[in-house]
Structure 1
Amino acid sequence: MRISPSTAQDIRHGVLIGAAVLTLLMPPGSLAPPSADRGLASAVAAQRPTPVPDFGAVDASASSRELVHWIARTGDNAGMPFFLVDKQAARLHVFDAGARLQHTTPVLLGSAPGDDSVPGIGERPVAQVLAHERTTPAGRFVGRFGHTLTGEDVVWVDYEAAVSMHRVRPHLQPAERRAERLASATTADNRISYGCINVPAAFYEAHIQPVFSRMSAVVYVLPERKSLRQVFGVMA
C-alpha cells in the first residue's frame, strides 16, 4: 500500500553538476527525464572527464556493464549516485556518482517475468493483482524516500505502479520463506514479490536508507525481455 509523498505533488530536485545546476521536474517513479534535461546532462558531462566504471571484484553481467559504461559516458545519472537492479541475476548494485560500485546484494523481485507494469495496477488492492501481473518494471526511475500507510519507510521507484524498494518482510507471509530465498545460492527462487524490490533489512538500513533519506537517486532496472536500447534509448 502507498500514500503520496508530499501529497503527491511534483518535487523539484536540484542537482549540482560541476558548476551547473540540473533541475529534474519529475513525479515519483517517473521514467527518463524530458529530453531537455538529458540534453543538459550530456552537455555538462562533455565538460568533465568521463568517469571510469569500476565493478571491483564483482562478476557483473554483460548487460550491467554495458549500461553502467553508457551511464558514465553520457552522464545519464545527472551527478547522482545510482542503483542498478539486474533482474536476471536478482541483484542490486549500488554505485557512487562516479560509477564506482560500492555495494551489492541479492534481492527478491516480481514473480512474473516482464518489463512493463499493467496500466492502473497501482490503484488496485494487492488481492486483485493477478499472478501474471506481478512484474518489476524495467527502466530509469528517480527514486524518492517515502512511507507506506503503516508508517514503514520505503523508496518509491515507480510510484504510479506502487513499486517500491524496501526491507524484506519475512514475518508477513512466513510460508513464502523470503529470508531463505534471499540467502540461497540460486536465483531461481528470488521471484516471489508482487513487483517490489525486496532488500535484506541490514543492507537497506546501511546503504539505501542513508542515501534516499537525504536526496533522490537514480534507479535503473535492467530488462529481461526487451533490449537495453528499447528501454534506455540509444546506447552506442
Structure 2
Amino acid sequence: MRESTRALILCLGLLSAGVASAAAAAARPPGRADPGPAPMSNDVRQVAGWVNASGDSHGLPFVLVDKVGARVFVFYPDGRLRGTSPVLLGAARGDDSVPGIGDRKLSTIRPEERTTPAGRFVASIGNDLGEKDIVWVDYAAAISLHRVITSNSKERRLQRLATPSTLDNRISYGCINVPARFYDTVVRPAFTGTNGIVYILPEIRPIRSVFPGYRADAHGRTEVTSAAPAQ
C-alpha cells in the first residue's frame, strides 16, 4: 500500500472538462484514424498502426501517450479509438526514470528527475489504500495513470490545461494524469477485468529505440479505425 500512496502523491494532475468525442467515426472508411476534436500526430498514427498490424498488444486494450502533444489515446483491443484526452505529465523532459526513484522521498527528487518514462508497459488497475483505483504503468518507478487531483489551487492546474501551450501540461513527478470523467468513462472500463498495454512515446529518443519492433511505411499509413468514446 505504501507504493500506491506514494505514486498518487507523486502524480498530482489537473481536472479537465469532459471526454473528447470521436464523432462521425462510422462515416469514415476502414483503416483510417479519426483524430476527433484533437489532432493525432503522425507518430501516434504510425505507432497505433504498427500495434494493430503487428499484434504487439496481444489482443489487449492499449493506450498511447503522446508526451510532445500532451494527449492520451485509449484503444479497444481491435484497434478502434475509444477516447482521447489532454493530460499532465512529468515536469522534466526525458524518456527514462532515474533508477530507484520509486523508493525515494518526494523531497529528494530534483526537478530535472521528474520525467515520464517512454516505453511499452503491461498495465493493470490497482488501488490507493483500497479507496481509489489507479492504473499501474511502471510499479517499480511509481508511475501510474490516474484521475487528477486539484487540491492545491496555487498550481492553477485547470488553467494550465486550458491554455494552448502544451508546456503548461508538464507539472507531475512523472505520472500520467487524466480528467476524472475521462478516467471513469474511458480508462477504467478499458482496464476492468483485464490488463492492458501502455505505450509512452519518447520525446528525445527515436521511436525505434524505444519500441524495437516498430515499423512504419514511408507514407505513414496505419491500420487504425475509430469509434465513439465509451459513455
Range into which the TM-score falls when normalised by the shorter chain: 0.7 to 0.9
State whether residues 64 and 86 of structure 1, in contact with CA within 8 Å, keep that contact through their aligned partners in structure 2: yes
State whether residues 202 and 210 of structure 2, in contact with CA within 8 Å, keep that contact through their aligned partners in structure 1: yes
Give the 3 Å change call, closer, same or farther, for CA 234–214 of structure 1 in structure 2. Answer: closer
Q: Match for residue 30 of structure 1?
A: none
Distance 1:216 1:183 in 2: 31
Deviation at 1:81, TM superposition (A): 1.2
Deviation at 1:214, TM superposition (A): 1.8
Deviations for 1:143-191, whole angstroms, at most 9, x for unmatched residues? 11111348321111011000011111111x2211222222333212000
Deviation at 1:56, TM superposition (A): 4.7
State whether residues 75 and 82 of structure 2, in contact with CA within 8 Å, keep that contact through their aligned partners in structure 1: yes
Q: Match for residue 163 of structure 2?
A: 184
Give the 3 Å change call, closer, same or farther, for CA 183–106 of structure 1 in structure 2. Answer: same
Matched, 1:117 2:118: no
Is the deviation greater in 178-187 or in 210-219? Answer: 178-187
Deviation at 1:59, TM superposition (A): 2.5
- Using CA pairs under 8 Å that are at least 6 residues apart, name the structure with larger relative contact order, 1 or 2: 2
| Aligned residue among 96, 105, 114 for 2:85 | 105
AA paired with 1:211? A
State whether residues 145 and 153 of structure 1, in contact with CA within 8 Å, keep that contact through their aligned partners in structure 2: yes
Give the 3 Å change call, closer, same or farther, for CA 150–125 of structure 1 in structure 2. Answer: farther
Q: Match for residue 138 of structure 1?
A: 118
2:187 match: secondary structure: helix
State whether residues 52 and 99 of structure 1, in contact with CA within 8 Å, keep that contact through their aligned partners in structure 2: no
TM-score normalized by structure 2? 0.77
TM-score normalized by structure 1? 0.75
| Aligned residue among 116, 128, 143 for 1:148 | 128
Deviations for 1:25-77, whole angstroms, at most 9, x for unmatched residues? xxxxxxxxxxxxxxxxxxxxxxxxxx946335452111111111111110001
2:44 match: secondary structure: helix
Q: How does 1:76-115 map to 2 (within 5 A)?
A: 76-115=56-95
State whether residues 167 and 199 of structure 1, in contact with CA within 8 Å, keep that contact through their aligned partners in structure 2: yes
AA paired with 1:124? R
AA paired with 1:160? A
RMSD: 1.9
1:189 match: secondary structure: helix
Distance 1:90 1:225 in 2: 14
State whether residues 90 and 175 of structure 2, in contact with CA within 8 Å, keep that contact through their aligned partners in structure 1: yes
Is the deviation greater in 176-185 or in 214-223? Answer: 176-185
Deviations for 1:106-127, whole angstroms, at most 9, x for unmatched residues? 0000000000000000001222
Where in structure 2 are there 5+ consecutive unaligned residues? 6-29, 216-231
| Aligned residue among 190, 197, 206 for 2:185 | 206
Aligned length: 189
State whether residues 182 and 200 of structure 1, in contact with CA within 8 Å, keep that contact through their aligned partners in structure 2: no
Deviations for 1:64-99, whole angstroms, at most 9, x for unmatched residues? 111111111100011011111000000001111122
Deviations for 1:3-33, whole angstroms, at most 9, x for unmatched residues? 49xxxxxxxxxxxxxxxxxxxxxxxxxxxxx
Percent identical pairs in the alignment equals 49
1:202 match: secondary structure: helix
